[in-house]
């Protein structure tokens, strides 16, 4: 029996024949940076996930966890890809405790399905996360990549929402941390540690999160500007005021165009809460915008509002349809410098002759760059990314390449500039995954 | 005394109510500057425990901790959620420390003087003469008594205050009330004007004021420095003269004295008795009686504000701010009454002092012996005072008065006065 | 290495004004706010990161343990040098290094007292959200070490939600930066795992904190109930109705009586429960929400509702809550604060169990709790000089922890594990769970020198 056959039968023993894929044509679809796995397994229980990892440890194989694959293009080139482990069959809602405003769900369920369930019945609740890939993103993938969206401005990100999680450690141990309580300082905060680890310290199989009641009312205000400096002053005013928008996004011309809006610089404010507060903020921000030089202001409500934000969230998906594989970059920096950075990025793109769209979470210091052309046709892309990175680092931040073809990954570090905490991260990876079973080489510093 | 324990059983009980929560640290002016556990009230309570249980020796270092890192301001006591009387513990340790290590001879002489009126008035006369003959601004400006600049210590009264007024001052018409006036050493020797203001205001309010000639030091500074036995002299004298049923109140214009007379005498005597001193029942009863009668002058005036004659309105306003003396606000919880008086004066524009109840850093002899720590505390107070841009800093403690006026920026030309002085001025305005 | 030599070397390294080693000083640093005492070998009071790094490197090179300490108001023995070593006291590292309003961040040294930070920020119209009850004495470093909570964490999260980065001294003295002013720095959430690590992973010498503009409006109400059930039902109903107030704090009858006796706050001594509800945010709609909440209270038989008309009245309401622990301390000399947390909906049932445990061990228990997030603080009253009673107190505390674990909760909501709750860890973690946490410890501190014997039972054995 060949190694592949041995592998196949061992995995079939664990998850059942129907849940193992070894057909070469089918396997291609699961390649990571061109590395095709030897098998794809879909365990149906946490115990099965554990058994797969125990097997992988014993046989010195590597495992790549996967949801729907929305973020598979991110991360460094893996050292080795043996088994892709799909979480899609672990897709139950384990416990929806309405009175406690908490939810426990398995990793393979999509956020979209979760929101639907939460919104139904009674007053309705929601999980305040709005990352890209509105329909496809699974909970496990979102948490493992710490994905977030515009409404992080008010609601925070995964680390502000999660109450606990269940993980299968790299050695196969089934462990659980946190729970259903809002506060928990028992032991180390392993929940926070696991968020955003790209599956390198364990496979998340279930999360418990707090929920919020659906807001009474909502509206979105779009303010169009021609002058970037005016945008900066205006956003500063709002961010330092008592007002509480749920999102403050700045969308540049090229991006606005793709959203069907004509504007040099489009500011989008999402307002959610009690009716009186929403009305007041719409009026106040609208007035203020006009005073600060907005050339146009409009209000979106209802379905129009919903669709706008979905298109914002799924921007990269739309880009990917035209230019695959897409090149998406995420810069982080101190919040007050968003117009400086955007302005510089626009100039750099122009100078490099690269067609790029930019979207900024203006109150959080996060900027997304979308290259609007085919990567292989784009000369000087690696150099361009390097320049953008240096700018972000100048503002105490960094740049992460969320998606790009393998050729680019060979030239640059997708995780940006290394920092002094690398030594600790390396030690953590070494202690928690000594065999290097999970996603080796894909995380910061190549761990 | 024959009992070798550091504390009486009653005082010792405090130790076991300290749960070490550390909330007292937020109210200790010394800890704010030194940031070490020995400078915290909690630390000293725990040291008291170890001393009491025989686990720790009362070394020089321990002695120094109890003297150099505590002004006995009472801030910790006022804010201890469990009601621990740390001050009783620290005073107890100081007592045993002084017994073991003795007291600085200069302090001993000073206290002996304060406790004996005829010695004190003779020596102040001599002191004034000496200052006139051998002192002078230049020399004094170079001299520091610890944190105090000698040149800015007020000149002593021409004669002791007690000699400036008759023993009984009757009001015009029928007296509405009769009070004894305990003026204390500071007013007697340094702040005669405050004494005169007290008498003048009370008289105008229709109150008969008795200023016993044979009153003496309240004993508190001596007690706080650890010489309990010596302080007894002053305590007993004071009880003899002031513990009277037949007066409406015993008024006092010094926060430390009133705190002592009102809050500490009874406890002190009971403690000393438990530790073997010959204290009689009548003395304790007298202390209890006195405790009920004692009223800070601002409290008395505020309680009888209806008796204050109408003051002339209009005219220029003076910006006045107020500093809460520790011994008034902590143990006695008196903070509203002085402010009420100030706010009611037509010529006063009252402005609240940031950190009004922060300690001034004086602590009596503390500022002389522990200048570095004291200066830091005083600087915070003075900076806050200057930030109000007030023209007058009002306060009800001659100790605070002395310390603060010593460190205010002379350029600002701020005056430091007792609220009763401002009231006197207003009442005398034609 | 003998104590004298350690002191000598430290004097050489950082200067003798920063080193304490006399009997008196050692006595002063042998305790925190828990019941345990253990003497350090010596104490250092660094003022710079370099000082800390030198001390830690020296300790590492010589196999000496180190325990970081702020104000020492720790409730679980976390600040105590259980196995000797050097106590690194941060109280003199109390500078504000960088107030950055533009980027809504402030960078501070760990020894800064939390309330001092907030008062400083208030002058600029800004806030640091976490409000642990100890804030006027405790330090930010201590808060981060314990991941401190406070009444406002229902809406705003705990300390770790507001710590975005900092500087850390590793086990061998190496200094690294983690996180920072910018969000989403790539890598593991070291800030997240360090918060609540109780000094067992490293010493933080700088903290980057999130600050936010002061809220526009606040409305504080004190609601008095005749039964605890009415109070808890009110809490559930408010949340079920889609409202998340900034705080929902409750006190039981024993506590109310003690507070009234201590502070004369004007509370009815026969009330069964007192609920403090605070709304904050934009003023629009706040009146309507407040009225709605009051209606819910009325539906649940509220006896009286007092609404604060101004800041002074608001302060008075909060003083009653903030003084609760201490006031209870007047009933008996000592108290042990439990810190179990359960899902909010399980609070009434858990409280019943707590009352029964008190009866079982013949100990009075006063209850103060964060009703909004299910964090209870049963205050078990006793006299530590009574050894029998002390024994019963520990047993009662253990049973309370077990009860909370059984209710689907946890053993510590905000005070940490320290030494006190080591034996409770097995109520909520399996051996494998703890093995995973031990691996994190091993990554940061392979030789187990940082605060050994705390937080993880395994570490207690290998200390």
- DSSP per-residue string spanning B355-392: TTTS--S-TTTHHHHSHHHHHHHHHHHHHHHHHTT-SE
**Cα distance from A186 to chain C (closest Cα, Å)?**
5
Taking CA atoms, C256 is separated from C260, C269, C275, C323, in Å, by 6, 6, 11, 10
Greater model confidence, A376 or A328: A328
Q: Are B126 and B118 in contact (CB under 8 A)?
A: no
Find the DSSP H helices in C160-310: 190-194, 228-240, 253-263, 286-299
Contact at CB, C104 and A239, closer than 8 angstroms? yes
Question: C26, C28, C123, C330: best mutation site toward chain B, by most B Cβ within 10 Å?
Answer: C28
Nearest residue on chain C to A394, alpha-carbon basis: C182
Neighbouring CB atoms inside 10 A of A384's CB total: 24
Tell me the pLDDT of chain C averaged across its residues. Answer: 94
SS3 A252: strand
Query: Are A186 and A295 part of one and the same domain?
Result: no
How many CB pairs (< 8 A) connect B and C? 95
C22, C45, C384 member nearest B36 (Cβ): C45
A148, A189, A214 member nearest C193 (Cβ): A189
Nearest residue on chain A to C102, alpha-carbon basis: A336
Chains C, B in contact, 3 or more Cβ pairs below 8 Å = yes
3-state helix, strand, coil in chain C (%, to 5): 40, 20, 40
Which residues of chain C are within 8 Å of residue B65 when distances are taken between CB atoms? 24
Nearest residue on chain C to A152, alpha-carbon basis: C183
Contact at CB, C343 and A102, closer than 8 angstroms? yes
pLDDT reading at A194 higher than 80: yes
What are the counts of helices (DSSP H) followed by strands (DSSP E) for chain C?
17, 18
Q: What is the pLDDT of residue B374?
A: 95
Q: What is the pLDDT of residue B277?
A: 86
Q: Are C445 and C171 in contact (CB under 8 A)?
A: yes
The CATH number of the domain where A82 resides is what? 3.30.43.10
Which residues of chain C are within 8 Å of residue A365 when distances are taken between CB atoms? 103, 182-183
Q: What is the CATH class of C217-325? A: alpha beta
SS3 A406: helix
For residue B139, what pLDDT band results from cuts at 50, 70 and 90? low
Neighbouring CB atoms inside 10 A of A28's CB total: 11
Q: What is the pLDDT of residues C39-61, one digit of tens each?
A: 999 999 999 999 999 999 999 99
Which residues of chain B are within 8 Å of residue C89 when distances are taken between CB atoms? 36-37
Task: Give helix B60-68 / helix B86-101 axis angle, nearest 10°.
Answer: 130
Neighbouring CB atoms inside 10 A of B58's CB total: 19
Average pLDDT over residues A44-55: 98
Q: Kindly state the percentage of chain C with pLDDT values over 90.
A: 86
**Cα distance from C29 to chain B (closest Cα, Å)?**
7
Average pLDDT over residues C243-269: 89
Structure tokens at A324: 């695959």
Question: C104, C106, C188: best mutation site toward chain A, by most A Cβ within 10 Å?
Answer: C188
Q: Are A230 and C221 in contact (CB under 8 A)?
A: no
Cα separation of C131 and C143, whole Å?
10
Q: What is the pLDDT of residue B229?
A: 83
**Cα distance from A216 to chain C (closest Cα, Å)?**
9
Exposure on the CB side of residue A64, measured as CA atoms within 13 A: 31
What are chain C's partners, defined as 3 or more CB pairs within 8 angstroms?
A, B
Query: Are A203 and A111 part of one and the same domain?
Result: yes
Q: What is the pLDDT of residue A376?
A: 79
Exposure on the CB side of residue C211, measured as CA atoms within 13 A: 29
* B318 backbone dihedrals φ, ψ, rounded to 5°: -110, 135
Q: What is the pLDDT of residue A83?
A: 97
Structure tokens at B110: 């000073």
Average pLDDT over residues A50-56: 98
Q: What is the pLDDT of residues B342-387, one digit of tens each?
A: 999 999 999 999 999 999 999 988 998 899 999 999 999 999 999 9
CB-based contact, B25 to chain C, within 8 Å:
yes
Q: What is the pLDDT of residue A58?
A: 95
Domain holding A309, by residue range, is: 217-313
Q: What is the pLDDT of residue A239?
A: 97
The radius of gyration of chain A's CA atoms, rounded to the nearest angstrom, is: 22
pLDDT reading at B125 higher than 70: no
Final residue belonging to a domain, choices A313, A343, A370: A313
Exposure on the CB side of residue A99, measured as CA atoms within 13 A: 12
Contact at CB, B81 and C325, closer than 8 angstroms? yes
**Cα distance from C225 to chain A (closest Cα, Å)?**
21
Contact at CB, C24 and B61, closer than 8 angstroms? yes
Query: Are A130 and A207 part of one and the same domain?
Result: yes
pLDDT reading at B1 higher than 60: no
Residue A192 inside a domain? The answer is yes
Q: Three-state SS across B63-112? A: HHHHHHCCCCCCHHHHHCCCCCCHHHHHHHHHHHHHHHHCCCHHHHHHHH
Q: What is the pLDDT of residue C78?
A: 96
Contact at CB, C183 and A242, closer than 8 angstroms? no
Q: Are C273 and C250 in contact (CB under 8 A)?
A: yes
| Least confident stretch, A257-271, A407-421, C293-307, C315-329 | C315-329
Nearest residue on chain C to A364, alpha-carbon basis: C183
For chain B, positions 74-93, list CB contacts with chain C under 8 A.
80-83
Q: What is the CATH class of C96-213? A: alpha beta
Contact at CB, B83 and C113, closer than 8 angstroms? no
Contact at CB, B26 and C327, closer than 8 angstroms? no
Query: Does the CA dihedral A170-A175-A181-A185 come out positive or negative?
Result: negative
Average pLDDT over residues A57-74: 96
Q: What is the pLDDT of residue B121?
A: 64
Average pLDDT over residues A342-370: 97
pLDDT reading at C151 higher than 70: yes
Query: Are A146 and A43 part of one and the same domain?
Result: no
Cα angle C108-C110-C114, degrees, rounded to a multiple of 5: 80
Which residues of chain A are within 8 Å of residue C433 when distances are taken between CB atoms? 175-177, 187
Query: Are A135 and A101 part of one and the same domain?
Result: yes
Cα separation of A393 and A399, whole Å?
8
**Cα distance from C384 to chain A (closest Cα, Å)?**
26
Q: What is the pLDDT of residues B383-394, one digit of tens each?
A: 999 999 999 999
Contact at CB, C193 and A183, closer than 8 angstroms? no
CB-based contact, B61 to chain C, within 8 Å:
yes
Contact at CB, B21 and C325, closer than 8 angstroms? yes
Cα angle A158-A159-A163, degrees, rounded to a multiple of 5: 90
Q: What is the pLDDT of residue B124?
A: 66
Q: Are C390 and C381 in contact (CB under 8 A)?
A: no
pLDDT reading at C459 higher than 70: no
Final residue belonging to a domain, choices A259, A288, A313: A313
pLDDT reading at A377 higher than 80: no
Does residue A325 have a cis bond before it (omega within 30 degrees)?
A: yes
CB-based contact, B387 to chain C, within 8 Å:
no
**Candidate CATH numbers 1.20.81.30, 3.90.226.10, 2.60.40.1930, 3.30.43.10; the one for domain C3-89:** 3.30.43.10
Greater model confidence, B102 or A362: A362
Contact at CB, A185 and C190, closer than 8 angstroms? no
Q: Please name the residue that has the structure tokens 């059930």.
A: C229
**Cα distance from C255 to chain B (closest Cα, Å)?**
13
**Cα distance from A37 to chain C (closest Cα, Å)?**
26
For residue B307, what pLDDT band results from cuts at 50, 70 and 90? very high
Tell me the pLDDT of chain A averaged across its residues. Answer: 96
* C187 backbone dihedrals φ, ψ, rounded to 5°: 130, -175
Cα separation of A315 and A294, whole Å?
24
Cα separation of B296 and B262, whole Å?
9
Q: What is the pLDDT of residues C57-80, one digit of tens each?
A: 999 999 999 999 999 999 999 999
Burial of A40 (0-12, 13-18, 19+ CB in 10 A): buried
Q: Kindly state the percentage of chain A with pLDDT values over 70.
A: 100
**Cα distance from B16 to chain C (closest Cα, Å)?**
6
Residues 6+ away with beta carbon under 8 Å from C31: B20, B46, C37, C72, C80
| Least confident stretch, A389-398, B34-43, B119-128, C340-349 | B119-128
| Least confident stretch, B100-109, B163-172, C118-127, C415-424 | B100-109
Which residues of chain C are within 8 Å of residue B50 when distances are taken between CB atoms? 27
Chains B, A in contact, 3 or more Cβ pairs below 8 Å = no
What are chain A's partners, defined as 3 or more CB pairs within 8 angstroms?
C
Domain count within chain A: 4
Average pLDDT over residues C330-336: 87
Cα separation of A369 and A5, whole Å?
44
- Sorted by where each begins, the domain ranges of chain C are 3-89, 96-213, 217-325, 332-418, 429-462
Q: What is the pLDDT of residue B293?
A: 97
Contact at CB, B83 and C31, closer than 8 angstroms? no
**β-pair type (A63-66, A83-86):** parallel
Residue A38 inside a domain? The answer is yes
Nearest residue on chain B to C27, alpha-carbon basis: B47
A239, A366, A415 member nearest C183 (Cβ): A366
Cα separation of A258 and A321, whole Å?
13
Q: What is the pLDDT of residues A289-348, one digit of tens each?
A: 999 999 999 999 999 999 999 999 999 999 999 998 899 999 999 999 999 999 999 999
**Cα distance from C341 to chain A (closest Cα, Å)?**
7
**Cα distance from C50 to chain B (closest Cα, Å)?**
20
**Cα distance from C265 to chain B (closest Cα, Å)?**
14
| Least confident stretch, A174-178, B317-321, C315-319 | C315-319
What are chain B's partners, defined as 3 or more CB pairs within 8 angstroms?
C
Query: Are A208 and A222 part of one and the same domain?
Result: no
A156, A169, A335 member nearest C436 (Cβ): A169
Q: What is the pLDDT of residue C252?
A: 94
Q: Name the DSSP class of B263.
A: I
CATH code, residues C332-418: 3.30.70.2740
For residue C324, what pLDDT band results from cuts at 50, 70 and 90? confident
pLDDT reading at B141 higher than 70: no
Q: What is the pLDDT of residue B2?
A: 44
pTM over 0.90: yes
How many CB pairs (< 8 A) connect A and C? 266
> What's the order of all strands across the beta sheet hosting B318-323?
B348-350, B318-323, B392-395, B415-417
Average pLDDT over residues A190-216: 97
Q: Are B416 and B392 in contact (CB under 8 A)?
A: yes
Which residues of chain C are within 8 Å of residue A175 when distances are taken between CB atoms? 430, 432-433, 436
Nearest residue on chain A to C440, alpha-carbon basis: A428
Taking CA atoms, B75 is separated from B46, B78, B225, B358, B401, in Å, by 17, 5, 18, 9, 19
Neighbouring CB atoms inside 10 A of A91's CB total: 18
Cα separation of A61 and A436, whole Å?
9
Residues 6+ away with beta carbon under 8 Å from A236: A336, C102
Nearest residue on chain B to C19, alpha-carbon basis: B36
Q: Buried b / exposed e across B8-42, counting CB within 10 Å, b at 16+?
A: beebbebbbbbbbbbbbbbbbbbbbbbbbbbbbbb
Structure tokens at C94: 């109390």
Tell me the pLDDT of chain B averaged across its residues. Answer: 91
Average pLDDT over residues A87-101: 95
pLDDT reading at C378 higher than 80: yes
**β-pair type (B249-252, B177-182):** parallel
Residue A423 inside a domain? The answer is no
Q: What is the pLDDT of residue B40?
A: 97
Question: C74, C184, C418, C434: best mutation site toward chain A, by most A Cβ within 10 Å?
Answer: C184
Strongest mean pLDDT among A365-379, B216-230, C349-363:
C349-363
Query: Are A107 and A203 part of one and the same domain?
Result: yes
**Start-to-end CA span in chain B (Å):** 60
Structure tokens at C462: 């290998």
pLDDT reading at B118 higher than 70: no
The CATH number of the domain where A232 resides is what? 3.30.70.2190
Average pLDDT over residues B392-420: 95
For residue B138, what pLDDT band results from cuts at 50, 70 and 90? low
């Amino acid at each position: 029996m060949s190694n592949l056959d041995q592998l196949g039968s061992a995995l079939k023993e664990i998850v059942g024949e129907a849940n193992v894929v070894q057909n070469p044509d089918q396997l291609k679809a699961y390649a990571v940076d061109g590395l095709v796995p030897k098998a794809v397994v879909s365990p149906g229980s946490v115990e099965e996930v554990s058994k797969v990892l125990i097997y992988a440890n014993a046989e010195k194989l590597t495992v790549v966890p996967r949801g729907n694959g929305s973020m598979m293009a991110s991360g460094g080139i893996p050292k080795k890809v043996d088994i892709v482990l799909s979480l899609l069959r672990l897709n139950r809602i384990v416990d929806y405790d309405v009175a406690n405003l908490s939810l426990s769900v398995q990793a393979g369920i999509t956020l979209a399905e979760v929101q639907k369930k939460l919104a139904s019945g009674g007053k309705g609740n929601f999980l305040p996360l709005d990352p890209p890939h509105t329909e496809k993103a699974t909970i496990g993938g979102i948490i493992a990549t710490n994905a977030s969206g515009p409404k992080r401005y008010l609601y925070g990100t995964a680390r502000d929402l999660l109450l606990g999680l269940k993980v299968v450690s790299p050695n196969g141990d089934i462990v659980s941390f946190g729970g259903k309580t809002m506060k928990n300082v028992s032991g180390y905060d392993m929940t926070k540690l696991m968020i955003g680890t790209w599956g390198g310290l364990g496979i998340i199989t279930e999360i418990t999160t707090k929920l919020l009641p659906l807001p009474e009312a909502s509206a979105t205000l779009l303010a169009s500007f021609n002058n970037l400096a005016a945008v900066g002053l205006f956003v500063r005013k709002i961010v330092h005021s008592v007002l509480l928008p749920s999102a403050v996004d700045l969308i540049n011309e090229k991006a606005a165009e793709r959203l069907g809006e004509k504007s040099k610089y489009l500011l989008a404010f999402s307002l959610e809460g009690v009716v009186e507060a929403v009305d007041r903020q719409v009026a106040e921000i609208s007035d203020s915008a006009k005073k600060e030089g907005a050339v146009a202001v409009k209000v979106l409500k209802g379905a129009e509002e919903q669709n706008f934000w979905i298109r914002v969230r799924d921007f990269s998906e739309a880009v990917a349809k035209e230019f695959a594989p897409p090149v998406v970059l995420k810069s982080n920096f101190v919040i007050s410098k968003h117009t400086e950075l955007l302005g510089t990025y626009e100039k750099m793109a122009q100078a490099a002759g690269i067609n790029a769209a930019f979207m900024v979470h203006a109150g959080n210091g996060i900027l997304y760059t979308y290259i609007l052309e085919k990567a292989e046709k784009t000369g000087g892309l690696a150099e361009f990314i390097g320049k953008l990175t240096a700018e972000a680092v100048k503002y105490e931040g960094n740049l992460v390449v969320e998606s790009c073809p393998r050729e680019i990954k060979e030239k640059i570090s997708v995780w940006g500039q290394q920092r002094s905490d690398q030594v600790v991260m390396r030690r953590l990876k070494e202690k928690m995954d000594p065999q290097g079973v999970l996603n080796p080489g894909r995380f910061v510093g190549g761990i | 005394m024959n009992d070798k324990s550091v504390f009486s059983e009653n005082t010792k009980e405090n130790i076991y109510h300290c749960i070490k929560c550390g909330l007292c640290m937020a109210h200790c002016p010394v800890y704010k500057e030194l940031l070490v556990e020995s400078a915290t009230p909690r630390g000293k309570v725990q040291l008291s425990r170890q001393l009491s249980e025989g686990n720790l020796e009362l070394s020089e270092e321990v002695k120094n901790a109890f003297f150099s890192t505590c002004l006995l301001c009472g801030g910790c006591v006022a804010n201890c959620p469990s009601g621990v009387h740390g001050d009783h513990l620290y005073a107890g340790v100081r007592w045993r420390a002084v017994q073991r290590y003795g007291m600085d001879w200069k302090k001993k002489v000073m206290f002996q003087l304060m406790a004996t009126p005829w010695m004190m008035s003779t020596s102040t006369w001599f002191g004034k003469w000496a200052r006139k003959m051998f002192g002078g601004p230049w020399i004094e400006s170079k001299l520091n008594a610890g944190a105090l600049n000698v040149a800015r210590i007020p000149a002593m009264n021409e004669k002791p205050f007690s000699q400036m007024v008759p023993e009984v001052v009757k009001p015009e018409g029928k007296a509405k009330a009769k009070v004894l006036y305990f003026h204390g050493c500071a007013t007697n020797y340094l702040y005669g004007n405050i004494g005169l203001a007290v008498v003048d205001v009370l008289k105008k309010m229709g109150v008969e004021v008795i200023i016993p000639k044979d009153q003496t030091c309240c004993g508190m500074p001596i007690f706080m420095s650890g010489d309990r036995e010596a302080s007894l002299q002053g305590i007993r004298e004071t009880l003899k003269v002031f513990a009277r049923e037949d007066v409406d109140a015993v008024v006092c214009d010094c926060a430390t004295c009133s705190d002592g007379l009102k809050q500490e005498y009874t406890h002190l005597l009971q403690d000393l008795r438990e530790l073997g001193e010959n204290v009689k029942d009548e003395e304790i009863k007298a202390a209890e009686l006195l405790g009920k009668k004692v009223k800070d002058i601002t409290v008395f005036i505020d309680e009888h504000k209806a008796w204050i004659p109408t003051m002339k309105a209009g005219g220029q306003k003076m910006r006045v701010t107020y500093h809460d003396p520790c011994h008034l606000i902590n143990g006695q919880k008196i903070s509203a009454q002085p402010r009420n008086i100030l706010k009611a004066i037509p010529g006063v524009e009252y402005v609240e002092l940031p950190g009004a109840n922060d300690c001034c850093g004086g602590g009596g002899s503390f500022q002389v012996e522990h200048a570095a720590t004291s200066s830091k505390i005083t600087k915070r107070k003075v900076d806050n005072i200057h930030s109000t841009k007030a023209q007058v800093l009002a306060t009800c403690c001659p100790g605070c008065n002395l310390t603060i006026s010593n460190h205010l920026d002379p350029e600002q030309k701020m005056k430091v006065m007792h609220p009763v002085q401002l009231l006197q001025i207003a009442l005398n305005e034609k | 290495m003998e104590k004298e030599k350690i002191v000598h070397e430290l004097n050489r390294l950082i200067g003798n004004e920063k080193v304490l080693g006399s009997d008196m000083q050692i006595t002063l640093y042998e305790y925190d706010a828990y019941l345990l005492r253990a003497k350090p070998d010596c104490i250092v009071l660094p003022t710079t990161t370099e000082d800390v790094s030198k001390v830690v490197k020296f300790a590492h090179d010589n196999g000496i343990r180190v325990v970081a300490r702020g104000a020492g108001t720790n409730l679980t023995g976390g600040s105590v040098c259980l196995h000797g070593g050097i106590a690194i006291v941060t109280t003199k590292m109390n500078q504000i290094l960088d107030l950055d309003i533009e980027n809504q961040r402030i960078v501070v040294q760990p020894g800064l007292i939390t309330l001092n930070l907030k008062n400083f920020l208030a002058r600029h119209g800004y806030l640091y959200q976490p409000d642990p009850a100890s804030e006027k004495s405790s330090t930010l470093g201590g808060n981060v070490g314990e991941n401190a909570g406070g009444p406002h964490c229902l809406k705003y999260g705990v300390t770790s939600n507001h710590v975005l980065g900092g500087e850390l001294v590793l086990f061998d003295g190496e200094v690294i930066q983690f996180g920072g002013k910018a969000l989403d720095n790539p890598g593991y959430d070291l800030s997240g795992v360090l918060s609540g690590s109780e000094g067992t992973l490293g010493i933080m010498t700088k903290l980057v904190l999130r600050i936010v503009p002061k809220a526009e409006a606040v409305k504080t109400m004190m609601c008095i109930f005749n039964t605890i059930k009415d109070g808890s039902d009110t809490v559930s109903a408010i949340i079920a109705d889609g409202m998340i107030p900034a705080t929902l704090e409750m006190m039981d009858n024993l506590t109310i009586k003690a507070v009234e006796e201590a502070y004369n706050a004007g509370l009815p001594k026969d009330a069964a429960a007192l609920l403090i509800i605070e709304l904050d945010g934009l003023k629009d709609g706040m009146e309507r929400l407040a009225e709605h909440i009051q209606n819910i209270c009325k539906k649940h038989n509220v006896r009286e509702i007092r609404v604060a008309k101004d800041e002074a009245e608001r302060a008075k309401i909060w003083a009653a809550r903030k003084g609760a622990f201490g006031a209870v301390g007047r009933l008996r000399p000592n108290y042990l604060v439990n810190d179990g947390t359960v899902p909010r909906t399980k609070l009434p049932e858990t409280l019943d169990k707590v009352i029964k445990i008190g009866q079982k061990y013949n100990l009075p228990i006063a209850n103060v709790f964060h009703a909004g997030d299910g964090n209870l603080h049963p205050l078990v009253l006793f006299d530590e000089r009574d050894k029998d009673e002390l024994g019963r107190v520990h047993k009662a505390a253990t049973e309370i922890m077990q009860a909370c674990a059984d209710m689907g909760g946890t053993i510590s909501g905000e005070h940490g594990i320290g030494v006190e709750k080591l034996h409770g860890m097995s109520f909520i973690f399996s051996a494998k769970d703890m093995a995973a946490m031990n691996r994190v410890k091993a990554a940061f501190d392979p030789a187990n020198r940082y605060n050994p014997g705390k937080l993880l039972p395994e570490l207690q054995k290998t200390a």
